[in-house]
């Protein structure tokens, strides 16, 4: 890449202001990079700022419960990221005395840290020569070098990592690494703004008119629709909820009792407005039903009528305590609508 100086100049003049670009210690870099995976930067900002208030240091995060961590992540989605971040903090405290290692060989030992996150730590936190290839960088490089193959293939990913490392400036490689990410997020986005790009002069994708069609992507997975009846079961100021077990899609999150639509008893009729919730490869259509029982035993009997085989797995929570629990997004929406009605 011959136009690194133009890229650096563009980055210095156009980089966006984000809280994680202030005081780039390894912990702040780790939190921001994991939050930014699969999430737009504008969405991450308030979560990052709240996170730093709740868990200002690595030790603070490691000493917090997983439920506290999941609650702080509530609404950001892809909760496995929060679990990985928590596990990484505990590992660093236990195995590295609470200090981040500064070599690739040691960083890859930390559970949950993939090649991109390791590269980002080495580059942004320790100013070492290391590539950090996320989706933005992969898009820039695929267009610039006219790589007409799926960037999701393992071999192509390795190729891009090698190319990215070769592109890094000799004196300030961390600036190149971050500038490529910024370029991909702003100008070299899905619909490229080639006329404003500092790399336009040497970009093969632009020169051949193929930039808009690159990078090649694997077909998107199909989306499955789910239709569920969700029950707001209340007895004397307490509501029935369940914490999803480890290994399940909504692990560590609380949910209301639910069954597939059509399995609710016939006497259940009065419902609240439908709630639609998208996650991973699913779209859930949730119909909430508020139900008031005099006794807890009556509520558990109702669950059995619905075919819920383990009603004792549910717990009773006072309405005032619901705000302290992390809920899956769809069920959190239902609770908000119900409690504000």
Over residues 299-311, the mean pLDDT reads: 82
Nearest to 136 by CA among 192, 84, 194: 192
Over residues 116-133, the mean pLDDT reads: 93
Over residues 263-280, the mean pLDDT reads: 81
Over residues 164-192, the mean pLDDT reads: 93
- Helix, strand, or coil (residue 67): helix
Distance CA(61)–CA(226), nearest Å, equals 35
Q: Is the pLDDT of residue 322 over 80?
A: yes
pLDDT band at 4 (very low <50, low <70, confident <90, very high): confident
User: Mean of the per-residue pLDDT values for the chain?
Assistant: 90
Which residue among the candidates 12, 17, 33, 74 is catalytic per the annotation? 33
Check residue 247 and give its pLDDT.
Answer: 62
Angle made by CA atoms 314, 227, 255, in degrees to the nearest 5: 25
Q: Is the pLDDT of residue 55 over 90?
A: yes
Ranges in the chain annotated CATH 3.90.79.10? 224-340
More confident residue, 265 or 162: 162
Q: What is the pLDDT of residues 167-177, one digit of tens each?
A: 999 999 999 99
| CATH H-level superfamily of 4-213 | Hypothetical protein; domain 2 (1.10.340.30)
Query: Residue 297, class by beta-carbon neighbours within 10 Å (0-12 exposed, 13-18 middle, 19+ buried)?
Result: exposed
Distance CA(180)–CA(203), nearest Å, equals 13
Check residue 33 and give its pLDDT.
Answer: 93
CATH 3.40.50.300, applies to 224-340: no
Check residue 99 and give its pLDDT.
Answer: 92
Ranges in the chain annotated CATH 1.10.340.30? 4-213
Query: Residue 43, class by beta-carbon neighbours within 10 Å (0-12 exposed, 13-18 middle, 19+ buried)?
Result: middle
Q: Is the pLDDT of residue 257 over 70?
A: yes
Percentage of the chain surpassing pLDDT 70? 98
More confident residue, 309 or 101: 101
- How many CB atoms are located within 10 Å of the residue 39 CB? 15
Q: Could you list the beta-strand ranges (E) of 128-281.
A: 224-235, 238-243, 254-255, 258-260, 275-279
- Asked whether the whole model's pTM tops 0.75, one would answer yes
Query: For this structure, is 33 an active site residue?
Result: yes
Angle made by CA atoms 320, 324, 327, in degrees to the nearest 5: 110
Q: What is the pLDDT of residues 22-45, one digit of tens each?
A: 888 999 999 999 999 888 899 999
Residues in the chain: 341
């Amino acid at each position: 890449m011959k136009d690194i100086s133009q890229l650096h100049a563009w980055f210095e003049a156009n980089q966006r202001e984000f809280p994680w670009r202030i005081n780039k210690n390894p912990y702040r870099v780790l939190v921001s990079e994991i939050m930014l995976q699969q999430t737009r930067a504008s969405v991450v900002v308030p979560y990052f700022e709240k996170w730093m208030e709740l868990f200002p240091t690595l030790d603070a995060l490691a000493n917090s419960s997983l439920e506290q961590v999941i609650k702080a992540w509530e609404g950001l989605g892809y909760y496995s990221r929060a679990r990985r971040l928590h596990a990484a903090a505990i590992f660093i405290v236990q195995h590295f005395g609470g200090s981040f290692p500064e070599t690739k060989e040691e960083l890859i030992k930390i559970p949950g840290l993939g090649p991109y996150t390791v590269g980002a730590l080495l580059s942004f936190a320790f100013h070492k020569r290391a590539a950090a290839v996320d989706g933005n960088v992969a898009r820039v490089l695929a267009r610039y070098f006219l790589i007409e193959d799926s960037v999701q293939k393992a071999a192509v990913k390795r190729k891009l990592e090698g190319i990215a490392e070769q592109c890094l400036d000799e004196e300030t490689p961390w600036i190149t690494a971050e500038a490529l990410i910024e370029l991909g997020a702003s100008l070299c986005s899905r619909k490229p703004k080639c006329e404003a790009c500092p790399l336009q002069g040497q970009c093969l994708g632009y020169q051949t008119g193929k930039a808009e069609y690159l990078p090649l992507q694997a077909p998107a997975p199909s989306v499955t629709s789910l239709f569920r009846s969700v029950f707001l079961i209340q007895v004397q100021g307490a509501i029935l909820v369940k914490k999803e077990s480890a290994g399940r899609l909504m692990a560590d999150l609380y949910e209301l009792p639910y069954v597939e639509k059509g399995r609710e008893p016939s006497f259940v009729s009065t419902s609240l407005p439908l709630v639609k919730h998208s996650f991973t490869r699913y779209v859930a259509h949730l119909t909430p039903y508020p139900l008031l029982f005099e006794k807890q035993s009556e509520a558990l009997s109702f669950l059995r009528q619905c075919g819920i085989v383990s009603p004792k797995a549910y717990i009773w929570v006072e309405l005032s305590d619901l705000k302290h629990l992390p809920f899956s997004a769809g069920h959190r929406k239902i609770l908000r609508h119900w409690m504000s009605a």
